[in-house]
């Protein structure tokens, strides 16, 4: 099972997106666990993930986060994030 960690500033808007991502992953038959965490908390859990997705509002942190882990860190496309397009987001990630 792959583990995706989705991060934003406070974890509120992303928690709604994660619910959609979980439903979409289930529909696609993907064997993934997806969780949301605020960035301040996520830094302690980066190495537990197979992929870290950042909300566009914290995309500025991608470089500094990537320096601290070997786990791939990707910024969610702003348009996909704004539409909460779970299918589109899952199509952009390598699992």
Residues with a known catalytic role: 8
The CA distance from 38 to 57, in Å, is: 12
Cβ(57)–Cβ(8) below 8 Å = yes
Report the Cα 63 to chain-centroid distance in Å: 15
CA atoms within 13 A on the CB side of 85: 12
The CA distance from 6 to 20, in Å, is: 12
């Amino acid at each position: 099972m792959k583990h995706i960690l989705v991060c934003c500033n406070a974890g509120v808007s992303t928690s709604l997106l994660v619910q959609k991502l979980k439903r979409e992953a289930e529909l696609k038959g993907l064997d993934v666990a997806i969780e949301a965490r605020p960035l301040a908390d996520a830094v302690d859990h980066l190495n537990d993930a197979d992929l870290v997705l950042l909300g566009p509002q914290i995309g500025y942190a991608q470089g500094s986060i990537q320096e601290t882990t070997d786990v791939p860190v990707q910024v969610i496309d702003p348009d996909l994030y704004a539409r909460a397009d779970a299918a589109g987001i899952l199509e952009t990630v390598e699992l």
